[in-house]
A and B are shown apart, each in its own frame.
Chain A
Amino acid sequence: MSNADLILPLLVAVPILMATAPIALGLRFDRTGWSVTALTTTGLLAATAYLASAVYSEGMVTHELGGWPREFGIQLVADEFSTLIALLVIATATAVLAYMRVGGPRGNTFYAGYLLLTGGLLGLSLTGDVFNMFVFLEIVGLATYALIASGDGPESAVSALKYLILGTVGASLYLIGVGFIFMATGTLNMQVLSEIMPEVLAQGGQNLVLMQAAFAFIFVGFALKVAQWPLHTWQPDAYQHAPDGVTPVIAALVSTAYAYALGRLMYTVFGPEFLTSTPYLTEIVVTVGCLSVLAGSTLAVIQTDVKRMFAYSSVAQFGLVVAAFGLVTETALIGAIIHLIGHAVMKAGLFAAAGVIAVSYGARTVNEYAGLADNRPFVAGGTALLLIALIGIPPSAGFIGKWYIAVGSVQAEMWPVAVVILLSTMLTLAYSARLLEKMYFTPATPVESPHPSAPVATDGGHEGEDGDDAHGSEHSDESAGDVGASAFTDAGRIGRGNPEAVSLGMLTLVIVAAIVAVLLGFAGGELYDLLDPFATEVFNE
Chain B
Amino acid sequence: MIELLASRYAYALMFVLMGVGMYMMIANQNLVKKLIGVNLFQTAIFLFFVAVAYVEGGSAPIVPTEGAPGAMASPLPHVIVLTAIVVGIALTAVGLALIVRIHSEYGTLREDTLREVRADE
List chain A positions with a Cβ less than 8 A from chain B: 131, 134-135, 138, 141-142, 145-146, 149, 154-155, 157-158, 160-161, 164-165, 168-169, 172, 175-176, 178-179, 182-183, 188
Determine whether B63 belongs to the interface, using a CB cutoff of 8 Å to chain A: no
Q: Find the A residue at minimum CB distance from B80.
A: A131
Q: How far is the CB of A110 from chain B (nearest CB, A)?
A: 14
Pairwise interchain contact B38-A169, C-beta atoms closer than 8 A: yes
Pairwise interchain contact B52-A175, C-beta atoms closer than 8 A: no
Q: How far is the CB of A149 from chain B (nearest CB, A)?
A: 6
The residue that B48 contacts in the complex, of A160, A176, A188, with Cβ under 8 A, is: A176
Pairwise interchain contact B45-A172, C-beta atoms closer than 8 A: yes
Pairwise interchain contact A160-B98, C-beta atoms closer than 8 A: yes
Pairwise interchain contact B101-A149, C-beta atoms closer than 8 A: yes
Chain A residues with CB under 8 Å of B105's CB are 154, 157
List chain B positions with a Cβ less than 8 A from chain A: 22, 25, 31, 34-35, 38, 41-42, 45, 48-49, 52, 76-77, 80, 83-84, 87, 90-91, 94-95, 98-99, 101-102, 105-106, 114, 118
Pairwise interchain contact A165-B102, C-beta atoms closer than 8 A: no
Pairwise interchain contact A165-B101, C-beta atoms closer than 8 A: no
Chain B residues with CB under 8 Å of A155's CB are 118
Q: How far is the CB of B24 from chain A (nearest CB, A)?
A: 11
Chain A residues with CB under 8 Å of B77's CB are 179, 182
The residue that B91 contacts in the complex, of A134, A164, A175, A178, with Cβ under 8 A, is: A164
Q: Find the A residue at minimum CB distance from B98.
A: A161
Chain A residues with CB under 8 Å of B52's CB are 179, 182-183
Pairwise interchain contact B38-A175, C-beta atoms closer than 8 A: no
Chain B residues with CB under 8 Å of A176's CB are 45, 48
Q: Find the A residue at minimum CB distance from B48.
A: A179
Inter-chain CA distance A217–B101, complex, in Å, is 33
Chain A residues with CB under 8 Å of B84's CB are 134, 175
Q: How far is the CB of B26 from chain A (nearest CB, A)?
A: 10
Chain B residues with CB under 8 Å of A175's CB are 45, 84
Q: List 29 A-B contacts (CB under 8 A).
A: A134-B84, A134-B87, A135-B83, A135-B87, A138-B87, A138-B90, A142-B90, A142-B94, A145-B98, A149-B98, A154-B105, A155-B118, A157-B102, A158-B102, A160-B98, A164-B91, A168-B41, A168-B42, A168-B91, A169-B22, A169-B25, A169-B38, A172-B41, A175-B84, A176-B45, A178-B80, A179-B52, A179-B77, A188-B76
The residue that A165 contacts in the complex, of B25, B87, B114, with Cβ under 8 A, is: B25
Chain B residues with CB under 8 Å of A182's CB are 52, 76-77
Inter-chain CA distance A91–B22, complex, in Å, is 38
Pairwise interchain contact B35-A165, C-beta atoms closer than 8 A: yes
How many A-B contacts if CB must be within 8 Å?
Answer: 71
Inter-chain CA distance A512–B77, complex, in Å, is 47
Chain A residues with CB under 8 Å of B102's CB are 154, 157-158, 161
Q: Find the A residue at minimum CB distance from B106.
A: A154
Q: Find the B residue at minimum CB distance from A139.
A: B87
Can you name 18 extra interface pairs (CB under 8 A) apart from A168-B41, A169-B25?
A131-B80, A154-B101, A154-B102, A154-B106, A158-B102, A161-B95, A164-B91, A164-B95, A164-B98, A165-B35, A165-B38, A168-B42, A168-B91, A176-B45, A179-B49, A182-B52, A182-B76, A183-B52
Given contacts A157-B105, A179-B52, contact A169 B41 (CB under 8 A): yes
Chain A residues with CB under 8 Å of B38's CB are 165, 168-169
Q: Find the B residue at minimum CB distance from A160.
A: B98
Q: How far is the CB of A53 from chain B (nearest CB, A)?
A: 34
Q: How far is the CB of A304 from chain B (nearest CB, A)?
A: 17
Pairwise interchain contact A157-B25, C-beta atoms closer than 8 A: no
Chain B residues with CB under 8 Å of A131's CB are 80, 83
Given contacts A164-B91, A179-B45, contact A157 B34 (CB under 8 A): no
The residue that B94 contacts in the complex, of A145, A158, A169, A172, with Cβ under 8 A, is: A145
Chain A residues with CB under 8 Å of B22's CB are 169
Inter-chain CA distance A168–B34, complex, in Å, is 12
Q: How far is the CB of B104 from chain A (nearest CB, A)?
A: 9
Counting chain B CB atoms within 10 Å of each CB, which of A142, A146, A172, A182 scores highest? A172
Chain B residues with CB under 8 Å of A168's CB are 38, 41-42, 91
Q: How far is the CB of A233 from chain B (nearest CB, A)?
A: 13
Chain B residues with CB under 8 Å of A160's CB are 98
Chain B residues with CB under 8 Å of A157's CB are 98, 101-102, 105
Q: Find the B residue at minimum CB distance from A149.
A: B98
Q: Find the A residue at minimum CB distance from B100.
A: A157
Chain A residues with CB under 8 Å of B31's CB are 161
Inter-chain CA distance A134–B42, complex, in Å, is 13
Q: How far is the CB of B1 from chain A (nearest CB, A)?
A: 17
Inter-chain CA distance A161–B76, complex, in Å, is 32
Chain A residues with CB under 8 Å of B35's CB are 165
Given contacts A149-B98, A158-B114, contact A165 B45 (CB under 8 A): no
Pairwise interchain contact B118-A158, C-beta atoms closer than 8 A: yes
Chain A residues with CB under 8 Å of B83's CB are 131, 135
Inter-chain CA distance A155–B57, complex, in Å, is 54
Chain A residues with CB under 8 Å of B91's CB are 138, 141-142, 164, 168
Pairwise interchain contact A164-B94, C-beta atoms closer than 8 A: yes
Q: How far is the CB of B34 from chain A (nearest CB, A)?
A: 6
Inter-chain CA distance A15–B8, complex, in Å, is 44
Q: How far is the CB of A92 from chain B (nearest CB, A)?
A: 24
Q: Find the B residue at minimum CB distance from A141.
A: B91
Chain A residues with CB under 8 Å of B80's CB are 131, 178
Inter-chain CA distance A154–B108, complex, in Å, is 12
Chain B residues with CB under 8 Å of A145's CB are 94, 98
Pairwise interchain contact A172-B95, C-beta atoms closer than 8 A: no
Inter-chain CA distance A178–B90, complex, in Å, is 21
Q: How far is the CB of B105 from chain A (nearest CB, A)?
A: 4
5 interchain residue pairs of minimum CB distance = A154-B105, A157-B101, A161-B98, A138-B87, A157-B102
Chain B residues with CB under 8 Å of A146's CB are 94
Pairwise interchain contact A165-B48, C-beta atoms closer than 8 A: no
Q: Find the B residue at minimum CB distance from A187.
A: B76
